[in-house]
Homo-oligomer: A and B are copies of this chain.
Amino acid sequence: MRTLVPFAAVDPKTRLGSVLTADERAAFARVMLRSVCATLQQAGYEPTVCSTAALDATTLPADTAVVVDDRPLTTAVNDELTTDTPTLIMMADLPLATPESIRRLTAATDAVGDAVDIAIAPGLGGGTNALVVREPAFRVDYHGASYLDHREIAADLDATVRTVDSRQLATDIDEPSDLVEVLIHGDGPVREWLLDAGFELDRSDGRVGIRRR
C-alpha cells in the first residue's frame, strides 16, 4: 500500500510554543516524524514523506523517500489521490503509534464480506490522524472537524467507512498536555527526547501534568 506522511517542516507545532522554543519545536517535530516513519517500516510499509521544505538526510530513517511540496496539506494530499492505488496517509505527530495499531487500521479495509473503501483513525477533537483510501474519487479536507467531513465526503460517494478504535492513533501531539501521554505510554526516541529536554511527569496533584526542570 502506498504510504504518505505529510510533514509541516517550517515553524511546526506552534501550540507547543509555551513549553518549547522554535528550534526545539523544529527538532521535536522531526523526532516524531522519524518515529512515525520507523514504525511504518516496522509494520511493513515504505513511507514517503511529503514535506513542505527540504529535510536533512539525517532526519529520516534509511530508505525513506521525501517529496517536497509547499502547498497546503489538503491540496498536496489530494494531488496524490488521483490514482486508484490504495493509499495510507498518516500524520507525522503520532509517536504512540505501533506496528499493531497501524495494521489494525489497514486491516479495517479488508472486512469480511464487503470491502471497506475508507478506514479512519480519528484524532481526539475530530481530526483525522490516519486514513486509508481505496476509493479513487475520495478527496480529503483536513480543515476543522475533518473526521466528520471525511465521513460526509465518503457518504456522498456511497463509499463505505470504518472507524478504527485506537488510542495510540488518536493521540496526536499538539499541546503541552499531550506530552503527558508520551511520557506515560511512549517507549522510544520521542519520549527520550522529552526526558533529555528536562520534561517529567508532575504527579503531585490529582491530575497528572508535566513540568520541565
Contacts and interface: CB of A to CB of B under 8 A. Distances in A.
Interface of A: 98, 100-101, 104, 122, 124-126, 143-145, 147-148, 163, 165-171, 177, 180-181, 184-185, 201, 203, 205-208
B124 A165 contact: no
**How many copies are assembled?**
2
A19 to B, nearest CB: 17
A206 B15 CA distance: 13
Contact of A125 (B148, B165, B180): B180
Contact of A165 (B126, B168, B177): B168
A143 B206 contact: yes
Contacts of A169: 167
Contacts of A163: 185
A145 B185 contact: no
B208 A145 contact: yes
Contacts of A122: 167, 184-185
Residue from A126, A144, A163, A207 having most chain B Cβ neighbours under 10 A:
A126
A50 B189 CA distance: 42
Nearest to A207: B125
B126 A208 contact: yes
Given A98-B165, A147-B184, A184-B147, A124 B125 contact: no
